[in-house]
Amino acid sequence: MNELELIDRLKGGDQAAFKSIVETWQDMVYNTSLGIVQSVEDAEDVAQEVFVQVYESINQFKGDSKFSTWLYRIAVTKSLDHLRKKKRKKRFAFLQSLFGVNEEEVRHTPDFNHPGVGLENKEKASVLFKAIDKLPDNQKTAFTLHKLEGLSYQEVAEVMETTVSSVESLMHRAKGNLKKILTDYYQNLKE
């Protein structure tokens, strides 16, 4: 059964079609989310939210773009929404801790292993992912989709609903920012 048949069957409420879509796309959705939210548990939560939205809004998919592009858009949007909510909670927890209401420690380090990172590079990857996390959302999204997910600039542009030249610019700025963040990090280690 091809992708269009699956989508048509899902639009008709076919549970088997939904299961097949989840099985086909779950790794891509999870890895995209993981690259952005940088936490295994959060990426799993986001992936579930993505597929719930796919199920609930499949009738909004008109076929103007590839299904994978539509799915990437949902995954990126849900991941960024999740980060924004988490940042609000961290700010609230910080304010509470100032007044002694909440003793809970807020973790800042990535607590995951990305599927594309070998064990021998885990420490370097942790530093890189911390740096990626400091990028503005649009740079983080472009960098994650292009470098971690392997999408072309054209595909990234379709997911982000922008132009290829905008993606090139975002990637250029992301690389420049990462270079500065990482240079500062490694210089501070030497001191």
CATH number of domain containing 46 = 1.10.1740.10
- pLDDT of 102 strictly over 50: no
In a shared domain, residues 11 and 102: yes
In a shared domain, residues 21 and 53: yes
The residue whose two tokens read 């304010």 is 95
Helices 153-160/164-190 angle, 10° precision: 100
User: Where does the pLDDT of residue 117 fall: very low under 50, low under 70, confident under 90, or very high at 90 and above?
Assistant: low
Mean pLDDT of 8-12: 94
In a shared domain, residues 16 and 85: yes
| Residues pairing with 39 in the sheet | 111
In a shared domain, residues 142 and 90: no
> Looking at the 3D structure of the chain, how many domains does it have?
2
CATH number of domain containing 170 = 1.10.10.10
- pLDDT of 155 strictly over 90: yes
Mean pLDDT of 133-156: 92
In a shared domain, residues 6 and 72: yes
From 108, 140, 163, the end of a domain falls on 108
Encoded amino acid at 156, one letter? V
Tell me the residue range of the domain where 125 lies: 113-191
From 56, 78, 108, the end of a domain falls on 108
In a shared domain, residues 59 and 119: no
In a shared domain, residues 5 and 60: yes
Percent of all residues in the chain with a pLDDT value above 90, rounded to a whole number: 60
In a shared domain, residues 8 and 67: yes
Kindly give, in sequence order, each residue whose CB lies less than 8 Å from that of residue 154, ignoring residues fewer than 6 positions away. 164
